[in-house]
Amino acid sequence: MRKIIKDGAIVEDSWIHVADDAALPAEGDIIVSWTRWQQEPDTLLKRNGRLGVQATGDVAPEDLAADRDKFSLIALEFPAFKDGRCYSHARLLRDRYGYRGELRAVGDVLRDQLFYMHRVGFNAFEVREDRDPEQALQALKDFDVIYQAAADVHEPVWRRRRSA
Amino acid sequence: MYIYDQYDQALVDQRVAQFRDQTRRFLAGELSEEEFRPLRLMNGLYIQRWAPMLRVSIPYGLLSSEQLRRLARIARTYDKGYGHFTTRQNIQYNWPALEKVPDILAELAEVQMHAIQTSGNCIRNISSDHLAGVADDEIEDPRPYCEIIRQWATLHPEFSYLPRKFKIAVSGSQKDRAATQVHDIGLQLVRNEQGEVGFEVLVGGGLGRTPIIGAVIRKFLPKRHLLSYLEAILRVYNLYGRRDNLYKSRIKILVKSLGPEIFAKQVEQEWEYLRDDAALTLENADIERMQQFFTLPDYDANAADDTRHEQQREEDPNFARWLAHNVLPHKQRGYRAVFVSLKAPGRAPGDMTDEQMEAVAELADRFSFGEARVSHTQNLVLADVRQADLYELWQALKAQGLATPNIGTVTDMICCPGLDFCSLANAGSIGIAEQINEKFDDLDYLYDLGPVRINMSGCMNACGHHHVAHIGILGVDKKGVEYYQITLGGTSGNDAALGDRVGPAVGKDEVADIIGRILKVYAEHREEGEPFLDTYRRIGLTPFKERIYA
Ligand code: SF4
């Protein structure tokens, strides 16, 4: 089983990515594409096991949010680490739409972006397969101070200074 | 000036450690060049024509003497003994060794400096007015807001992988000296009808390949909402800015394609959700706390009584010239703001040696409360000098070659590093500056011409802001030969305008000569006391064009 980072630890991934043209496994937790979810929502909801959906930055966060109760997991895909749209999508899902399920970063997910990803609300990371997730995990500890509020810390530095 | 507390210091220290590890992993082959690239860029490190180039952030252009001394030491220890000040009030080193950069960053952190976000697709250094706090047309000192924005933008998790770089400028004066209309966001402090001070918000200005003057999207933003409004603009840009084409990815293209009204509407919609977010709201106490770092220095109340500089001016015509051109009035009686000219003949515009930096640090301590500023015209400013000290200061600056009395004249050129250093350049720019300096060595002629702004860029990235110059010079490449395109009539002031292209590009050897012809046309047509820009606006391009291509 693949190892991923989840809630600050390395764990075995219990979820299965199901390709658009592959048959749905009878059991288990699956992640399907946003397209597939659009095409066969009923089938997907009826099966045993939890449902996750994977979307690129092309899928509007409000569309994802409209169906958020149906998903135990939302995976946002970074086709290249430089494509930063999903940082905003993550924050919107967490802060505006109150999504509380697993929010997973997939695609070009590398150590050096992890700190930011974590701050905008991702709690799970499929680190790119050729990289060591153990090393990537260290990135979450790169900084113990931050200036601005985000999905993780709600108190910006200027508010902490008020009491100083 | 702003002094770091434990949060600020911890952040820059941890940033140094992070980059040290990233550099180590890159040199060990664990990070590809492609992966290392954005990481080094976000720490100001480029790979240039000959060597890496490190850009160090000077927030809103303000430096303590201690910081300036450290910049000198870095120039001496890690570079070839000089640095280059840029149009965005930063400093660049042209010759650092890649593996030494973490050490340089550590040296900077010791004096509360860094190179964070001086490059890359993120929010860059916040620039401002070099006369902030001393200009008499100021509504409010912009620097506390610059520092608030700097902190909000630093390592912003949502806005560190934007479609493209993002530049913000803040001006607190009626006269715009911060070029707010050609920034991604320009913030202008204004007073509304109720007498309340807030911001006018401009978006989508910028130079480069597609120069555009920014559009006002909000006439009045209360201060408390500064950060929520910025967050709304950045979010709209991060979501909808183009990422498929490098040349269309700046916010100006988004604003232009939607139209400023629709863009403004999207921002306002987003802002509706954010405006009451306590984590983005500045209380008065937060602003006052920041303002306390930028209070007035301990001015000598009797400074105006000592008028020896008047006598000295009578006696020494060279001093008189310098006073007339490099020294500005001040809102405090008996004080002046002094330009340190980095435009001496024979030196690349904006360059300064380690020795000169140390000398100016010393002079700042003696004569200007230990602070210096960088102007976007690539000079330094000592902003709080007693009039009685001017003569001594002048002599000391002169001894260092920093008193060329040419501020605001033809030879006070803005100039990017060009082909000599920059790997993107089409053509040289430093050589052209030299040519112009040689041709226009008669100061009386320059004074007679009055204020003329010449800006030069070595390629259409426009780091030298050529579009907003009275006379702009742009290096172009024609089959491997350097040519120069001339524009006329631009300005980055309140009446911001982009220059008009005069016609086909001209050869390298002709540039200074053509500038000479342009200035002759002006001299012939001007009316009594009329500055270059006004004459140009009155008579238009044709008379110039006829002479240039005669
Ligand atoms: S304008 Fe072009 S040549 Fe000049 S510094 Fe910028 S990128 Fe380099």
Give me ligand 1 centre to Cα B417, in Å. 7
Helix (H, G, I), strand (E, B) or coil at B202: strand
CB of B472 shorter than 6 A to ligand 1 = no
Task: Name residue B418's beta-bridge partners.
Answer: none
Cα gap B260→B182, rounded to integer Å: 15
- What is residue A117's predicted lDDT score, i.e. its pLDDT? 97
Give me ligand 1 centre to Cα B476, in Å. 11
- Residue in chain A nearest B122 by alpha carbon: A84
Is the pLDDT at A164 greater than 70, yes or no? no
Q: What one-character DSSP code corresponds to residue A152?
A: S
Q: What one-character DSSP code corresponds to residue B161?
A: S
Name the token pair of B307.
């008028």
CB of B462 shorter than 6 A to ligand 1 = yes
CB of B461 shorter than 6 A to ligand 1 = yes
Q: Are B260 and B217 in contact (CB under 8 A)?
A: yes
Residue B254's nearest CA partner among B227, B228, B223, B215 is B215
Instruction: Kindly give the number of the ligand 1 atom that is closest to the alpha carbon of B425.
Output: 3
CB of B56 shorter than 6 A to ligand 1 = no
Distance of CA B136 to the CA centre of its chain: 21
CA distances (Å), B459 to each of B154, B379, B481, in order? 29, 22, 13
Q: Are A54 and A29 in contact (CB under 8 A)?
A: no
Using the beta-carbon criterion (under 8 Å), do B283 and A88 form an inter-chain contact? no
Cα gap B247→B384, rounded to integer Å: 42
| Cβ-based burial of B287 (10 A; exposed 0-12, middle 13-18, buried ≥19) | middle
Distance of CA A58 to the CA centre of its chain: 15
- What is residue B421's predicted lDDT score, i.e. its pLDDT? 87
Instruction: Kindly give the number of the ligand 1 atom that is closest to the alpha carbon of B426.
Output: 3
CB of B396 shorter than 6 A to ligand 1 = no
Q: Quickly list H helices, B400-495.
A: 430-439, 443-449
Q: Are B521 and B471 in contact (CB under 8 A)?
A: no
Residue B394's nearest CA partner among B315, B448, B503 is B315
What architecture is domain B414-548? 2-Layer Sandwich (3.30)
Hey, which of B422, B465, B476, B485 would you mutate to test ligand 1's pocket, going by the most ligand atoms within 8 Å of its Cβ?
Answer: B422
Hey, which of B50, B90, B457 would you mutate to test ligand 1's pocket, going by the most ligand atoms within 8 Å of its Cβ?
Answer: B457
Residue B417's nearest CA partner among B166, B9, B48 is B48
Strands A3-6 and B500-501, how do they pair? unpaired
Residue B512's nearest CA partner among B420, B416, B439, B424 is B439
- Interface contacts (A, B; CB < 8 Å): 106
| Sign of the CA dihedral running B252, B255, B261, B267 | negative
**Chain B residues in contact with A81 (beta carbon < 8 A):** 35, 38, 161
- What is residue B315's predicted lDDT score, i.e. its pLDDT? 97
Strands B454-457 and B471-478, how do they pair? parallel
> For the domain bounded by B303-399, which CATH number is listed?
3.90.480.20
CB of B422 shorter than 6 A to ligand 1 = yes
Residue B267's nearest CA partner among B317, B241, B301, B230 is B230
Give me ligand 1 centre to Cα B80, in Å. 21
Task: Name residue B372's beta-bridge partners.
Answer: B63
DSSP letters spanning B488-525 = ES-B-STT-BPPEE-SS-EEGGGHHHHHHHHHHHHHHH
Strands A51-55 and A73-78, how do they pair? parallel
Residue B444, Cβ neighbours under 10 Å: how many?
8
ipTM of the complex: 0.97
Tell me the nearest-neighbour CA distance from A147 into chain B, angstroms: 6
Q: Where are the domains of chain A?
A: 3-163
Please work out, in degrees rounded to the nearest 5, the angle formed at the alpha carbon of residue A33 by the alpha carbons of A80 and A11: 70
Q: Is B448 on the interface with A (CB under 8 A)?
A: no
For B310, half-sphere exposure in the C-beta direction (CA atoms, 13 angstrom radius) is 5
Residue B337's nearest CA partner among B58, B171, B60, B131 is B131
CB of B312 shorter than 6 A to ligand 1 = no
Assigned fold of B6-110:
Sulfite Reductase Hemoprotein; domain 2 (3.90.480)
Average pLDDT over all residues of chain A: 95
Of A96, A157, A164, the CB nearest to B151: A157
Residue nearest to atom 2 of ligand 1 (CA): B459
- What is residue B434's predicted lDDT score, i.e. its pLDDT? 94
CB of B463 shorter than 6 A to ligand 1 = yes
- Please enumerate in sequence order all residues whose Cβ is within 8 A of that of B534, keeping only pairs 6 or more positions apart, or say none: none
- What is residue B48's predicted lDDT score, i.e. its pLDDT? 74
Using the beta-carbon criterion (under 8 Å), do B155 and A81 form an inter-chain contact? no
A45-67 residues labelled b (16+ CB within 10 A) or e (exposed): eeeebbbbbbbbbebebeebbee
CB of B9 shorter than 6 A to ligand 1 = no
What part of B 251-280 touches A (C-beta under 8 Å)? Answer: 273, 278-280
Assigned fold of A3-163:
TIM Barrel (3.20.20)
Using the beta-carbon criterion (under 8 Å), do A142 and B14 form an inter-chain contact? yes
Cα gap B415→B491, rounded to integer Å: 15
Largest CA distance in chain A: 59
Q: What is the pTM of this model?
A: 0.96
B10-26 residues labelled b (16+ CB within 10 A) or e (exposed): ebbbbbbbbbebbbebb
Residue nearest to atom 6 of ligand 1 (CA): B463
Q: What is the mean pLDDT of each run of 10 residues along chain B (550 residues)?
A: 96 96 94 89 84 94 98 97 95 94 98 96 96 95 98 97 97 95 97 97 95 97 98 98 94 97 98 96 96 96 97 97 97 97 95 98 98 97 98 98 97 93 91 95 95 96 96 95 97 95 95 97 96 97 94
Tokens 């991060």 -> residue? B238
Instruction: Kindly give the number of the ligand 1 atom that is closest to the alpha carbon of B421.
Output: 8
Name the token pair of B444.
């009386």
Most B CBs within 10 Å, among A63, A87, A110, to test the B interface:
A87
Using the beta-carbon criterion (under 8 Å), do B239 and A147 form an inter-chain contact? no
Of B10, B18, B148, the CB nearest to A145: B10
Residue B98 zone, left/alpha/beta (φ > 0; ψ -120 to 50; rest): alpha
B134-293 sits in which CATH class? alpha beta
- What is residue B233's predicted lDDT score, i.e. its pLDDT? 98
Q: Are B128 and B2 in contact (CB under 8 A)?
A: no
- CATH topology match: B303-399 vs B414-548: no
- What is residue B435's predicted lDDT score, i.e. its pLDDT? 95
- What is residue B51's predicted lDDT score, i.e. its pLDDT? 78
Cα gap A5→A124, rounded to integer Å: 5
